[in-house]
Amino acid sequence: MRKQPNSRKCFVCGLQNPVGLKLVFYEDAEAEQVRAEFVVSDEYQGYPGVAHGGIISAVLDEIAGRAILLHGDDDDLMATLRLTVRYRRPTPTETPLTAVGWVERIGGVGAQVAGEIRLADGTVTAECESVLGSVPESFRANWAEEKAYWKVYESGGS
């Protein structure tokens, strides 16, 4: 599986963000999915032993949004225009989880993507549907100085 780039400061994928999740993403070309294996630590709980819904939503936003990179290159990032999350059951902290994202449809000015968070046995704890659109030019201007840090890190994030 091909490893996708990480950033420097993104809350979900920024390897140098001291309070971030530091997720690493891989492309499963055969399944046409992006995957990340991770554990939500107790410091991100909403209730004891249960991951905060905002953390779950952030992971789903990232995994679904990264699916668009399956059909382009690493510069083809898009912005989330709408994110709909369905929490199917509590997502436990301190438990191995897998996030999976895929493209449902590309067309017009954007794409429809989806994602899930799964327990080790395949049980889905949360799912999303998302609509992505082109990144505004103002984002691209700020991205220029950060782009050097958007890369595949072999380890450590430095």
**What pTM was estimated for this model as a whole?**
0.93
Task: Give long-range contacts, CB 8 A cutoff, 24+ apart: 22-31.
Answer: 22/157, 23/59, 23/62, 23/99, 25/62, 25/63, 25/66, 26/1, 26/2, 27/1, 27/2, 27/3, 27/69, 27/70, 28/1, 29/1, 29/2, 29/70, 31/102
2-136 fold: Thiol Ester Dehydrase; Chain A (3.10.129)
Cβ neighbours of residue 11 under 8 Å, at least 6 residues apart?
A: 17, 19, 20, 21, 58
Q: Write out pLDDT tens, residues 83-133.
A: 999 999 999 999 999 999 999 999 887 999 999 999 999 999 999 999 999
DSSP string, 22-45: ----EEETTTTEEEEEE---GGGE
| Segment 48-90, tens digit of pLDDT | 999 999 999 999 999 999 999 997 776 677 899 999 999 999 9
